[in-house]
Amino acid sequence: MSNTLIVEDNITFRQMLKEILCSRFSTMEIEEEPDGRDLFNKIDSFHPKIVIYKMEDNIHHFRTEGGFLWV
């Protein structure tokens, strides 16, 4: 399954999303990032196929489709 990165500052929501994904996709490898500050370092080290994040005004330069950042 694909590596997935969850970028979310709300720890409760982030952990809940991770639990849901893990329960439905047992082979999915999931990493968490509390904010976008180290996003590119995490992408370089983890090589996710899917990045789920909350779109903020300060990261408007990402090209997105349906709330997903395609890396």
CA distance 46 to 37: 15
pLDDT per residue as tens digits for the range 2-42: 899 999 888 998 999 999 999 999 999 999 999 878 888 89
Query: How many angstroms separate the Cα of 41 from the Cα of each of 27, 32, 35, 36, 38?
Result: 23, 13, 12, 10, 5
Task: Count how many domains the chain has.
Answer: 1
Collapsing DSSP to helix, strand or coil, 19 comes out as helix
- Better-scored residue on pLDDT, 39 or 55: 39
Q: What does the pLDDT read at residue 36? A: 79
For residue 46, the enclosing domain spans: 3-69
Give residue for tokens 């997903």: 68
User: Quick one: pLDDT at residue 70?
Assistant: 47
Tokens 């990045």, residue?
A: 51
Q: Are 46 and 3 in contact (CB under 8 A)?
A: yes
- Supply the pLDDT for residue 2: 82
